[in-house]
Structure 1
Amino acid sequence: MIVKRAYHHGDLRRALVLAAREVLVERGPEGVSLRGAVAKVGASTAAPYRHFRDKDALLVAVALEGHAELQDALRGCGTGTVTALGHSYLGFALENPALYRLMAGAGIGDRAAHPELAEAHRETCAVLADRMGDRIDPGGFATTLWCLLHGLATLVIDGHVARGSAIAEAERSLAFLAGGVVPPAG
């Protein structure tokens, strides 16, 4: 008599997130699907629905992982080092462009259906504020810094600004935000 054993992947949720992240890098958020992630990990077609209700839920899980990684990178910069925070933020965004765009919501249908994504954005901004140290208004400064860095990262990712130019402009802008002397452009 043949006994059929139930398939057990181990940590299927994690495997699906990793598979989706690979596809995200290769083909963007539109290329990610539950069926494709399942095929990459070798599970049954019904298996992902125990962990994710739909493609958006899978993409949100990938975006949340990205936020956690960005927060860790920012925490590693030390307190009050605006230039280091800027380099860390831009470095993360430019090394992970597809993930970064996904974290900002690109490719996720109804963002309002995923309050955990909005919370991750708030936590990332809170890490920036925390790293501002004893500034008068670290929260407001962090929001301004986030706007600057997000804008520069997006301009580079979209090909409007060369990467080297973005780093130079970030240096100038960060010096201005930090209240230091702004070096001349050029």
Structure 2
Amino acid sequence: MVVKRAYHHGDLRRALVLAAREVLVERGPEGVSLRGAVAKVGASTAAPYRHFRDKDALLVAVALEGHAELQGVLRGCGAGTVTALGHSYIGFALGNPALYRLMLGAGIGDRAAYPELVEAHRETCAVLADGVRDQRLAGHDPGGFAVTLWCLLHGLATLVIDGHVEPGSAVAEAERSLAFLVGGADVKASFTE
């Protein structure tokens, strides 16, 4: 008599997220499926439903991982200036375009159904606010400025990813836009201190 052993993957949830990220890079969010992720890791077709109720839940897990990575990049950018934050943000977005798109809009149905994703967006903005809090941005509320900064950086990153702005000019465009946004000479002093 042959006894069939139960399949045990180890950390299936993590493996499925990694598999989904690979597919996301290759084919975009529409190419990601639970069945495809399962096939990539070699688990049973029923196994992913212990971790994710549907494709959106899997994509949310990937997006949450992306937010955590972006927050880490922003916290660790070192120089602690608006310019350093901008460079770090644009660098992350351009280095991970499919993940970036997923984090901020593409591919997930009802984003409001995932409060953890809403919280991740809020936390990313809070990290930006923390990054600009100590800057001398006369007359600017750090929280409000962080939202404005995020809008600028997101818009620029999206324009570069979509091919409307040359990647090589993205940083210069961000610096010009920030200088205009904050008031020229004031932001120039912030960039150099």
Q: Take 1:177 and 1:74, find their aligned partners in 2: how far apart are those partners? A: 20
Q: Take 2:62 and 2:37, find their aligned partners in 1: how far apart are those partners? A: 12
Unmatched tracts of structure 2, length 5 or more: 135-140, 185-193
Cα deviation for residue 144 of structure 1 reads: 0.7
Cα deviation for residue 105 of structure 1 reads: 2.0
Asked if the contact 1:83/1:175 (under 8 Å) is kept, the reply is no
Q: Take 2:31 and 2:179, find their aligned partners in 1: how far apart are those partners? A: 40
Q: Take 1:26 and 1:10, find their aligned partners in 2: how far apart are those partners? A: 25
Give the structure 2 partner of residue 23 of structure 1: 23
CA shift in 2, pair 1:85/1:138, >3 Å: same
Cα deviation for residue 177 of structure 1 reads: 4.0
Q: Take 1:80 and 1:132, find their aligned partners in 2: how far apart are those partners? A: 8
Asked if the contact 1:86/1:174 (under 8 Å) is kept, the reply is no
Cα RMSD of the aligned pairs, angstroms, is 1.3
Q: Take 2:131 and 2:180, find their aligned partners in 1: how far apart are those partners? A: 18
TM-score normalized by structure 1?
Answer: 0.92
Q: Take 2:50 and 2:57, find their aligned partners in 1: how far apart are those partners? A: 12
Unmatched tracts of structure 1, length 5 or more: 181-186
- SS of residue in 2 equivalent to 1:79: coil
CA shift in 2, pair 1:88/1:127, >3 Å: same
TM-score normalized by structure 2?
Answer: 0.88
Cα deviation for residue 112 of structure 1 reads: 1.6
Cα deviation for residue 161 of structure 1 reads: 1.0
| Residue-by-residue CA offset, 1:110-155 (whole Å, 9 max, x unaligned) | 1121111111000000000011133xx1101101100000000010
Give the structure 1 partner of residue 190 of structure 2: none
Asked if the contact 1:79/1:132 (under 8 Å) is kept, the reply is no
- SS of residue in 2 equivalent to 1:132: helix
Q: Take 1:172 and 1:33, find their aligned partners in 2: how far apart are those partners? A: 41
CA shift in 2, pair 1:150/1:89, >3 Å: same
Give the structure 2 partner of residue 61 of structure 1: 61
Identity %: 90
Give the structure 1 partner of residue 102 of structure 2: 102
Cα deviation for residue 173 of structure 1 reads: 1.7
| Residue-by-residue CA offset, 1:144-174 (whole Å, 9 max, x unaligned) | 1000000000101111111122221112122
- SS of residue in 2 equivalent to 1:64: helix
Q: Take 1:159 and 1:79, find their aligned partners in 2: how far apart are those partners? A: 29
Asked if the contact 1:79/1:133 (under 8 Å) is kept, the reply is no
- SS of residue in 1 equivalent to 2:4: coil
Deviating more after overlay: 161-170 vs 50-59: 161-170
Give the structure 1 partner of residue 172 of structure 2: 168
Cα deviation for residue 77 of structure 1 reads: 1.9
Give the structure 1 partner of residue 79 of structure 2: 79
| Residue-by-residue CA offset, 1:25-68 (whole Å, 9 max, x unaligned) | 00000000000000000000000000000000000000000000
